[in-house]
Amino acid sequence: MTDVKSKKLSMKSEIRKKNDRIEFQREARCPADGDGGGGGSGRWPIREDERIEGKRVVPPMLSIPHQLVGAPLGYSVKLECYTEAHPTSLNYWTREDKHMIHDSNKYKVVSTPEVPSYKTHMTLEIFDIQMEDYGAYKCVAKNPRGNTDGVIRLYSKCRFVYSRLNHPQRAFAKLMTDRRGWFVSVYSKLKAGGREQLPC
């Protein structure tokens, strides 16, 4: 009685990830004796290349370098957020009243794609700061998996330059901001080397 050898299957697989795609290559070989044990052997090489688009969905994440930003009246300031999401998120800025901020003479909104492509750098530039500009700003990121937001608070930051006059009972404090300088005279509580804090 002729023994029939069992068929053997050897497979080689290679998975390679490239630019958000997975390239899959497979080669299958099935060496076996011929039917009935006749001395020959056969091979059936199979090769297939498949490209599988990455379908993983990642909800947005935010990173805020500075959550408190100070700037004097009349200055310009830039707020920034970093987002990570796949697919790429819809990014925008709002104020406390949830109204979306658009490009204008007051604001400049920029979203810059980074490497890798799921990262985005968001910036909001505010020009000629006035009292009503102080407060909270939100950077918001949304994609099909969800949404997230982060808060940056803009606060008033005064710059003071102090000078003492020869008159022993009086000193002048000079409050300096960009494009405006105010001189405020105050009766001296300042002693030699002393300073008095003035309100913004």
Please give the Cα distance from 86 to 55 (Å, whole number). 9
Mean pLDDT rounded to a whole number for the chain: 69
**Greater model confidence, 98 or 37:** 98
Please give the Cα distance from 123 to 121 (Å, whole number). 7
- CB contact set of 80 (below 8 Å; sequence gap of 6+): 64, 65, 66, 121, 122, 123, 124
- Diameter of the chain measured on Cα atoms: 126
For the chain, the domains span: 58-155
Convert the pLDDT of each residue in 111-147 to its tens digit.
999 998 899 999 999 999 999 999 999 999 999 999 9
Compute the residue count for the chain: 200
**Greater model confidence, 129 or 197:** 129
Q: Residue 95's beta-bridge partner residues?
A: 137
Amino acid found at 113: P
Q: Residue 81's beta-bridge partner residues?
A: 122
CATH code given to domain 58-155 = 2.60.40.10
* Angle (CA) 68 66 96, round 5°: 55
Convert the pLDDT of each residue in 155-185 to its tens digit.
998 755 444 445 444 444 444 443 344 444 4
Highest mean pLDDT: which of 4-13, 79-88, 163-172? 79-88
**Over residues 40-59, mean pLDDT:** 48
